[in-house]
Structure 1
């Protein structure tokens, strides 16, 4: 009445009891969406969490005659004069802006890296991996900055002028209403490119190089290491990468803060404003606030790569192309 076991085995695939189903690797749009989401989260969390440091750093850059006794005293001054809540000024645009920026930056970096590798082949890409890292990060950061710039302009205005608006929506709307898109939101686009592109290039190439050397010193393949060890490598490499990136991008960061502090004079071009500001500051002035920025950037970069790596693992997006030796 019923088919025999032999007939069932011939008609259907019956896995052995000890066989485990292996999920197909995630590819295509799904893979890059996961990269973008992991990048968005890691940047929003780290930049948002370090808003107090960024507030003090920006105050030191914009008002060095007042905040002239270092980072710790800067915290004390802000709290004493404005209350502890002032340290969270600009949190909204910071978290929102860097959520968008992180998606474009990390997702774009993975996309362009894969594109270049496919174009020239894995072996040639491995030989020219530094150029691949630099080119991929530069292109990704350009598009990331298009998304970031309006929110960064809003953040700086809120920090530099605490009475300008009560938060992200109010500040964004007022700048749009009074100054328009280009002058209001993108007056700092040149400085932000000048700051962020070298910053991101240094960040990724130093991270990749540091991680490669750390893994080589461990002496085991990456797939044989524990998750904790991999996270530790990401943290250590991130600290090194963040320190280098902060130093390289500091002059542009200072110019960006200055140019967004207030509206320019009627008819004055962005370029002339930047040249004038740079001339007034000099080399020493362009590096004002470097120490707090190193602390901030090294910390957030380490956190970003650790969170990014962990989120990719949780979401199963671990099959990005590796060209390290």
Structure 2
């Protein structure tokens, strides 16, 4: 490495170097932050559907109700928590995924790559969701209670004294887990790193995120309920109902999966396949 460039390559960093992890982290932050920011109106509706399903019972009717009663600005309530919170989560998720992938590849030498990829994703997701929890807890309170506070980042001091904060963190870090399905296409000879996502690769990722969305739906409903209607997890589950835990707001959550996942992996894969990185020696 000389002057920030790998000698003889003209590239900025080597794969699995500190610079490589930094680029992956930045790519994850940018992709996750911007994708979640763009879907804020649907996220506002999702949270309100969870805490008031009678009033907000459909996607189009719910958006219309929010617009008429609270104005267009209501659809962007909690945007700062979405942008910064999921930016932090994305940075941890993608950056740590690469770190754990290298770590587990060295430790679990004889194991199948899919096992290594899954373990890496699971490990990174735990740290990512713990980092997200404070932002998410404040965001949900802002979106469900307009008089609470206008800006998510200003709400931390106020929110630290509210019931359900710790429970929200535990619920999110435990259940809001996403599965990662490894690449289903072979690398072409001569390519330093994988190409940007193919249709097959993107479809596998969408399926994995959809499965994760279904699995995490009960926890997502409980987290929303804890911010407005319940003081404990058991009370939240009782208020929502067992069946509703799995079905309430699920259609809109799955609808959000497509654009969010597509944007995240587009930015991330673009950076990973860029000319800035040279593959590590075998």
* TM-score past 0.5 threshold: yes
In 1, the alpha carbon distance for the partners of 2:195 and 2:61 equals 36
C-alpha distance 222-106 of structure 1, shift in aligned 2 (>3 A): farther
State the Cα deviation string for residues 188-220 of structure 1 (Å, max 9, x = none).
Answer: 012102322xx32x2x1x3x2xx31xx25xxx7
Distance 1:119 1:283, change over 3 A: same
Task: Note closer, same or farther for the CA distance 1:318–1:67 as it changes in structure 2 (3 Å cut).
Answer: farther
User: CA separation of 1:315/1:36 partners in 2, compared to 1, >3 Å: closer, same or farther?
Assistant: farther
Which whole-Å CA distance do the structure 1 matches of 2:230 and 2:147 have between them?
15
TM-score normalized with structure 1 length: 0.75
CA distance in 2, matches of 1:165, 1:94: 15
Higher helix residue share: 1
Residue of structure 2 equivalent to 1:187: 167
The equivalent position to 1:298 in structure 2, one of 243, 255, 258, is 258
Residue 146 (structure 1) aligns with: 130
> Aligned equivalents of 2:9 and 2:188: distance in 1?
21
Counting matched residue pairs gives 272
The answer to whether the 8 A contact 2:93-2:121 is kept is: yes
CA deviations on 1:84-108 (whole Å, 9 max, x unpaired) are 1111000001111111111111111
Kindly indicate whether residue 158 of structure 2 is the aligned counterpart of residue 174 of structure 1: yes
Give matches, 1:54-133, under 5 Å.
54-68=43-57, 70-121=58-109, 124-125=110-111, 127=112, 129-133=113-117
Greater shift, 230-239 or 138-147, is seen at: 230-239
Q: Is the 8 A contact 1:158 1:165 kept in 2?
A: yes
Deviation at residue 233 of structure 1 after TM alignment:
5.0
- Aligned equivalents of 1:40 and 1:189: distance in 2? 20
Instruction: Check conservation: 1:187, 1:260, Cα contact below 8 A.
Output: no
Gaps of 5+ in 2: 1-6
Q: Deviation string for 1:269-318 (max 9, x for gaps)?
A: xxxx1122213322321120100000102321122111111123347247
Residue 281 (str. 1) matches residue 240 (str. 2): yes
Give 5+ residue unaligned stretches, structure 1.
1-19, 265-272
RCO (CA 8 Å, sep 6+): is it higher in 1 or 2?
2
Does the 8 Å CA contact 1:239/1:299 hold for their aligned counterparts? no
**Greater than 6 Å deviation, 4+ residue runs:** none
Q: CA deviation at 1:184?
A: 6.3
Instruction: Report if aligned partners of 1:238, 1:301 keep a CA contact under 8 Å in 2.
Output: yes
Q: TM-score, normalised to structure 2's length?
A: 0.86
Residues 253, 184 of structure 1: alpha-carbon distance in 2 compared, 3 angstrom cutoff: closer
2:89–2:132 Cα contact (<8 Å) kept: yes
Deviations 1:92-130 (A, max 9, x none): 011111111111111111111110101122xx23x2x33
Aligned to 1:15: none
- The whole-number CA distance in structure 1 between the counterparts of 2:278 and 2:98 is 11
Q: 1:259 to 1:312 in 2, by over 3 A?
A: same
Q: CA RMSD in A?
A: 2.8
Deviation at 1:320, TM superposition (A): 7.9
Q: Residue 165 of structure 1 aligns to a residue in which SS?
A: coil
Distance 1:66 1:318 in 2: 54
Equivalence map 1:245-264=2 (5 Å):
245-261=212-228, 264=231
**Alpha-carbon contact 1:234-1:305 (below 8 Å) kept:** no
